[in-house]
Amino acid sequence: MDRVNLLDLDAAQVAALVAGLGEKAFRARQLTRWVHRRGAAQFEAMTDLAKSLRSKLDSVAQVRAPAVIRDAISEDGTRKWLLDVGQGDAIETVFIPEDERGTLCVSTQAGCAVNCRFCSTGKQGFSRNLTTAEIIGQLWWAEHALRASRGITAEHERVISNVVLMGMGEPLQNYEATLRSLRLMLDDDAYGLSRRRVTLSTSGMVPQMDRLAHDCPVALAVSLHAPNDALRDNLVPLNRKYPLRELLAACQRYLTFAPRDFITFEYVMLDGLNDSDAQARQLIALVADVPCKFNLIPFNPFPGSGLKRSTSERIRAFALRLQDAGFVTTIRKTRGDDIDAACGQLAGDVQDRTRLAQRAVRRLLPLVAVDS
Ligand code: SAH
Ligand code: SF4
């Protein structure tokens, strides 16, 4: 029988495992701290656990994160890892350092079924949901690799202060594994991040937004991209199932539980499609009742998209309209350009599917964290 991967288990499940081995409850917390806080992958390193427990654990459990295929560091400090999740699927995790914070952008699926018109992940289709171990394994790996490269040994000195679920995939279409991962991110024995510093981005899965509000209300970003249903139907096909009126009502409901008193609306800037002054006015009217901020994302082109990025002047003019109407509006900065190029160079010597993942990271890299 396969040994259980501890990265797949949240605190309650580790407690059940430890109880099943006939051990006291506090051992579960010790184990969680060894794995997540200290990044231990070998039980023999867990020196304050009895030898007998260590060997029991060794026979039933393991700590296994996805294997790293590539590790690239940009001149601006942005770092990305290409991770192998088996059977030709690869995913990307991106670390974006800033003065006051370090943000990790995490993937939740290999591919994505939502198929937004402007998204390279969507264009590659859906392969599968990531497991909890593959989602939290990105944070586990990145946090401890970053600490090691900075010579940090103290377990409380965290490098990653913020997590955004904005990598490949629609997190709310992989609800259970995402939820378990979120709980681990917040768990004081694991990563101890505050709810305000963990942001889930969704294309608008209304029922799951309600579930999340009850189960684990972290900060929420909603990918809006259009000021009316006709255009949003075209850009984000999920809108046909959950149109704007329902989506905005779900945002209102979420705010009752949210750790922040606003929703972040993401809006990818597409030349001639959704970036006119008239559309800005329509957008302002649309969200009038929802406490929100805007994050405008300059479209990152990929081959065959048939779409263009709005000009910088247009993006600034659009932002100004929103700001004049009283909405805090930021324009997402581009980061990691130089490893973006390296990314294309790597494509030749990894498996076919990983090339798709690298295309996806080209749009991941221009990402900086939403508000902290
Ligand atoms: N599936 C979720 C989270 C992952 S996508 C969602 O859609 O919200 C994270 C963000 O990147 C979304 O706002 C998405 O619209 C944006 N995005 C996707 N493709 C992009 C591209 N080519 N250029 C710029 N932003 C893009
Ligand atoms: Fe999926 Fe988000 Fe890409 Fe849309 S933008 S296809 S929901 S990953």
- 23 CA distance to ligand 2 centroid (A)? 44
- pTM reported for the whole predicted model: 0.92
Closest CA to 199 of 356, 82, 367: 367
Mean pLDDT along residues 137-160: 91
Mean pLDDT of the chain: 90
Q: Which residue has the higher pLDDT, 75 or 136?
A: 136
What is the distance between the alpha carbons of residues 235 and 237, in angstroms, rounded to a whole number?
A: 6
For residues 173 and 341, what is the distance between their CA atoms, to the nearest angstrom? 31
Per-residue pLDDT, 372: 35
Higher pLDDT, 303 or 3: 3
Does the beta carbon of 122 lie inside 6 Å of ligand 2?
yes
> For residue 221, which atom of ligand 1 is closest to its CA?
8
- The per-residue DSSP string of 151-184 comes to T---TT--S--EEEE-SSS-GGGSHHHHHHHHHH
Q: Which two tokens stand for residue 211?
A: 């579930």
Span from the CA of 338 to the centroid of ligand 1 (angstroms): 21
Q: How confident is the model at residue 358 (pLDDT cuts 50, 70, 90)?
A: low
Q: What is the DSSP string of 240-280?
A: GTS-HHHHHHHHHHHHTT-SSSSEEEEEEEBTTTT-SHHHH
Is a pLDDT exceeding 80 seen at residue 295? yes
Handedness of CA 71, 339, 79, 140 (dihedral sign): negative
Task: Say yes or no: CB of residue 204 within 6 Å of ligand 2.
Answer: no
Rounded Cα gap, residues 165 and 201, in angstroms: 6
Please give the number of the atom of ligand 1 that sits closest to the Cα of 300: 23
Nearest CA, atom 15, ligand 1: 223
Q: What is the pLDDT of residue 341?
A: 29
Q: Is the CB of 112 under 6 A from ligand 2?
A: yes
Residue with the smallest CA separation from ligand 1 atom 19 is: 119
E-strand ranges in 16-99 read 61-62, 67-73, 79-84, 90-97
pLDDT of residue 338: 61
